[in-house]
Amino acid sequence: MTDFRHVSVSHRTIDSGEQDFGLIDEKGRKVGIVYTIIQYVSRLREEDDTQRSYWILPFADTVHYLATVTPTRNGQRFGASQYGKHVLVLEDASREVDRRIESTRKRYAKKYPATI
């Protein structure tokens, strides 16, 4: 059984960037992606804690990472972000970003075969 815990969470961006896929969409816009890796540090909620909202996390580790990617057109965010993935190790977050960039690039390469 998973032990869910009420915690207070602080966060900071560990890595972020963008990648141009060298593709052009039907409107002539450059196709690419932006990514972010965020580090979350949690602490168990204290009984006298005055914070009004808390996260409920399914693991006890005090540090975890969130890897997210979002498509871009001409360097601007375009459409919905892909669902972020929470992992416990920074290297796993980096691998997840790399995996999602590559799968997104392949998907758009089929849709927009023209290159810059």
Model confidence pLDDT, tens digit, residues 90-114: 999 999 999 999 999 999 999 998 6
For residue 116, being part of any structural domain is answered with: no
Give the residue-averaged pLDDT of 46-71. 72
Q: Rounded mean pLDDT of the chain? A: 84
For residue 67, being part of any structural domain is answered with: yes
Q: Is residue 6 pLDDT above 80, yes or no? A: no
Backbone angles phi, psi at 48, to 5 degrees: -95, 15
**DSSP-assigned beta bridge partners for residue 116:** none
Count up the domains in the chain and report the number: 1
Lowest mean pLDDT among 60-64, 82-86, 100-104, 106-110: 60-64
Other beta carbons less than 10 A from residue 38's beta carbon? 18
Domain limits for position 99: 5-111
pLDDT score, position 2:
46
pLDDT score, position 80:
79
